[in-house]
Amino acid sequence: MHPVTKIAAGTVGAGAACLAWATLVERHLYAVRRATLPVLPQGARPVRILHVSDLHLVRGQEHRITWVRDLAKLEPDFVVNTGDNMSDFDAVPDVLRAMEPLMHLPGAFVLGSNDYFGPTPKNPLRYFTAPNRRRLDLHSSELNWRDLVHGFTSGGWIDLDNARRRVEINGLDLELVGVDDPHLHYDRYTEVSAPAAREAALTIGVMHAPYIRVLDAMAADGARVLLAGHTHGGQVCVPFYGALVTNCDLDRKRVKGVSRWWPGASGAPSSAAPDDAAYLEVSAGLGHSKYAPVRFACRPEATLLTLTPPPPSA
């Protein structure tokens, strides 16, 4: 075989192996990521928050449903769901079955674009060539989001779509503020904007898509923790390089995991954060569009955050 032919064959074979791994293996390798955020007052008991996002369920995905149900065994103090729970109109019962053990715990949620509208078949390269365009395909179908909201609120979770609420967790008064999906421009933060409550131990901002306009506004108001999903961690990443896109205007370095955020932080390293910068945690999420069933170098995940007081100063 000619050397060039050998190289071409090897490249094709490697590509096929990567595709097989991404479609058949890695997208099912669910993981729990853990992080500790030092944001509580001195003397406060730790608070454990389970962050779930981007489930993208269709009917019959029993492996994913079972894994999510088992998250209740982590015994968090509070659950935050940052949206994109489903990809089909008839998936609401399966979503509620997946979340049912978690709804025995206090929690809150916001909706994402794929709670409102179903995905459509499209050229997958469009995701990489125009990730920041917020557009609804004319053939997108409205999903059964009202039943989803009713199911979550009936289970006791707080609807944070353009809302501000107070909760007590482990004896702490916490303030929650959220917005409806910024990717669809459904966010109305100006309607709930206010300085962080002085009497609250902590203000937490919640959104589906981490757009800069929302992150900046919440951080400017004094939110110390910001929770989001939407990015899928890049979904298809390059080893040792990371995500290619974030599907919003967030910079790639913050596409998943914990970083620091302050007004004007876009593109700046977390190491440059001022002392009062917020902690931004972006979940890589648990699923994917049913028309793009791949994950590469980016395992699906839920996050268990432990909020603690900062260590005593030396």
Give me the CATH number covering residue 123: 3.60.21
Q: Are 135 and 164 in contact (CB under 8 A)?
A: no
Closest by Cα among 67, 73, 72 to 107: 72
Q: Which residue has the tokens 């966010």?
A: 187
pTM higher than the cut 0.95: no
Environment class of residue 314 by beta-carbon count within 10 Å: exposed (0-12), middle (13-18) or buried (19+)?
exposed
Residue 140 has pLDDT above 80, yes or no: no
- Region 240-262: mean pLDDT is 96
Average pLDDT across the chain, whole number: 89
> Which value, to the nearest 10 degrees, does the dihedral of the CA atoms of residues 27, 151, 79, 295 take?
10
Which of the pair, 292 or 15, is modelled with greater confidence? 292
Euclidean distance between CA atoms 180 and 142, whole angstroms = 16
DSSP conformational letter for 240 = T
Least confident range from 93-102, 125-134, 214-223, 253-262: namely: 125-134
Q: Bridge partners of 237? A: 243
pLDDT of 113: 96
Specify if 220 maps to a domain.
yes
Specify if 17 maps to a domain.
yes
Specify if 314 maps to a domain.
no
pLDDT tens sequence across 154-206: 999 999 999 999 999 999 999 999 999 999 999 999 999 999 999 999 999 99
pLDDT of 7: 39
Q: Bridge partners of 33? A: 303
Instruction: Provide the percentage of residues in the chain whose pLDDT is more than 90.
Output: 78
Report the Cα 247 to chain-centroid distance in Å.
12
**Dihedral sign for Cα atoms in the order 220, 221, 225, 226:** negative
Specify if 313 maps to a domain.
no
Count of the separate structural domains present in the chain: 1
pLDDT of 121: 75
Specify if 193 maps to a domain.
yes
Specify if 250 maps to a domain.
yes
pLDDT of 122: 63
Structural domain boundaries, residue 117: 3-308
